[in-house]
Amino acid sequence: MAVEEIINDSGFNIGDFVAAKKFANFEHDFKGVVEKIYEHSLLVLVTENDPEDQATVNEYNHRAVVRMSETKVLIAAEVPEKPADEEETTDTSAE
């Protein structure tokens, strides 16, 4: 079974430090680190928030799913370079 390689063309990467707009019970915008990338949204670990929103942050277990369209990258994470596919050498000689 072949596995398709997933290409990330969203402009976001895991580990990016982002600013997100307020939504639902959040009364203020907040900042955090991208943990997972979905099709049109991001799972963000909330690291900086207004003290008034602390109860909401605790209730959401310090995580929030936010729209990509309402999120801005503040500090981009370094994306590791994938090593070039090395040709596999196989020994096909019969003994």
Cβ(44)–Cβ(36) below 8 Å? no
pLDDT, residue 85, reads: 59
Average pLDDT value over all residues in the chain = 87
63 forms beta bridges with 45
pLDDT, residue 14, reads: 94
- pLDDT per position as a tens digit, 32-57: 999 999 999 999 999 999 999 999 99
- pLDDT per position as a tens digit, 63-93: 999 999 999 999 999 877 766 654 455 555 5
pLDDT, residue 33, reads: 98
